[in-house]
Amino acid sequence: MQSTTPTFTLRLHVRISLGLLAMFILKTWRSTAFGIYGYLNFTKSGFLEHSKNFKPEDMATRIDGKNCIVTGANSGIGYAAAEGLASRGANVYMVCRNRERGEAALSKIHSTTGNQNVHLEVNNAGVLENTRVTTPEGYEMNFAVNVLGTYGMTELLVPLLEKCEGDARVITVSSGGMYTSPLTTDLQFKDGEFNGVEQYARNKRVQVALTEKWAEKYGNKGIGFYAMHPGWAETPGVTNSLPAFSKSMQGKLRTSEEGADTVVWLALQPKQNLVSGGLYFDRTEAPKHLPFAATSNSHNAIDSIMATLDSLANFSI
């Protein structure tokens, strides 16, 4: 009797090869679509074009006495957001990784805005590590800071946010890089060769999906949840983490203030004018997925991911 094993083996190899080819084509398409979309929209010229539709009165609102926590507030987009909110009268709590740089930024904001109700706290905010680094707790660093930290901080603040008379809002700064990645349950990049830029994109996709879920989960508690992406801005973080990209885009990147514009805008707008769970870019709601990128169905994994984060954060919600 003739063995059929070689035939089965051949079919298996063909299927694997076709699967890998399809995956390669899809990843290539995502990167290409993101590059074109980003170059047309995320650059300084994109901001200048979009700003033609901005309404100056949207940024004239005062928020005296409102409490605002801004992470990564000592430089870049975080600093610009903190300064923008302080200039409109908010009580700002700057969360910075480095106390010395944080104190210097605090002093500058006091001086430029005249608002003395700006305070410094120390914690990490966001990171892009290009090589695998593990925290003392054993978590991959990008995930620990960008996802687990974001999740834990937000969930623990919910009881306080509920007391804000329906005006509380959480604004999560994502990244356009998330367009290149679907949501994945491989949160710590244990499968395959580690890639820091890809992991950062995965982290930012999680933030957008979390924002959707938070809006659903806490919709009856008077808290608005919004994700935004700042476009491609010239910040110390970009220069340090993506030096080749920063150099190639010299003169085309946005300023930190332009990158932070939508953060401040989201903090100032009446909540009835905003969509909780939405992703915003240049003061308007933006798509969360690019055409034919096959990322939208991946958001179905968010319940499983939140359960994992809840377990890792070691508290029960």
Residue 133 placed within a domain:
yes
Residue 165 placed within a domain:
yes
Residue 244 placed within a domain:
yes
Domain count, the chain: 1
In degrees rounded to 5, what are phi and psi of residue 163?
A: -90, 5
What is 73-85 written as a DSSP string?
TTSHHHHHHHHHH
Per-residue pLDDT of the chain (317 residues; tens, 9 = 90+): 455 556 666 565 556 676 777 888 889 999 999 999 999 999 999 999 999 999 999 999 999 999 999 999 999 999 999 999 999 999 999 999 899 999 999 999 999 999 999 999 886 668 999 999 999 999 999 999 999 999 999 999 999 999 998 889 999 999 999 999 999 999 999 999 999 999 999 999 999 999 999 999 998 999 999 999 999 999 998 888 889 999 999 999 999 999 999 999 999 999 999 999 999 999 999 999 999 999 999 999 999 999 999 999 986 54
Residue 84 placed within a domain:
no
Residue 64 placed within a domain:
no
Of 79, 139, 179, 200, the catalytic one is 200
Residue 254 placed within a domain:
yes
Cβ atoms within 10 Å, residue 122: 12
- Per-residue tokens: 285: 């709601």
Tokens 């005249």 belong to which residue?
114
Please answer whether residues 313 and 88 qualify as being in contact, where contact means their C-beta atoms are separated by less than 8 angstroms: no
Residue 203 belongs to what domain range? 14-53+126-313
pTM: 0.91
Residue 87 placed within a domain:
no
Task: Give the integer Cα–Cα distance in Å for 116 and 23.
Answer: 53
- Per-residue tokens: 230: 């700042």
Q: Domain of 169: which CATH number?
A: 3.40.50.720
Is-catalytic flag, 218?
Answer: no
Residue 3 placed within a domain:
no
